[in-house]
Amino acid sequence: MSLTLTSTAFTAGGSIPARQTCEGQDASPPLQWSGVPDSARSLVLIVDDPDAPDPAAPQRTWVHWVLYNLPASAKGLEEAVAASQLPPGTREGLNDWKRTGYGGPCPPIGRHRYFHKLYALDTELLDLGKPDKAKLLDAMKGHIVAQAELVGTYQKDR
């Protein structure tokens, strides 16, 4: 069984509802996963947008959410999950707004893709404080035993 990541808010390749964006409540989407390998000791979730600022001429990947050390036994995250509601042991990293927590899609132009990436690791990471995506990816090197991806899209109503 392979690692899979899904959401009841949008389908793979589908449009992310406004509720999960800056035009709505900026609520994190509900996420569910299955197929975590027996060798996994923790999970990492990274949500990012490789189309920033303009999909026609992307210049950078904008990071929306960073979580690490989610327990391997966790099955998902509720919609609009608060830091206090994260599974025990879960740590938060910094998004590109330089804060922890979820920051929803808010593209300045065009339809962007939002990659929700779940990684199963064969270890629990040391306390990295509040790492950015680059520092977390560096700490994960050599420890990824499975990964899954769910992509949603969003374009502001103009």
pTM: 0.97
Q: What does the chain come to in residues?
A: 158
Looking at CATH, the fold of the domain delimited by 4-154 is given as Phosphatidylethanolamine-binding Protein (3.90.280)
Joined tokens for residue 125: 């990471």
CA distance 132 to 115: 16
Per-residue pLDDT of the chain (158 residues; tens, 9 = 90+): 699 999 999 999 999 999 999 999 999 999 999 999 999 999 999 999 999 999 999 999 999 999 999 999 999 999 999 999 999 999 999 999 999 999 999 999 999 999 999 999 999 999 999 999 999 999 999 999 999 999 999 999 86
Joined tokens for residue 147: 């990964």
* Side-chain half-sphere CA neighbours of 137 within 13 A: 8
Show me where the domains of the chain are located. 4-154
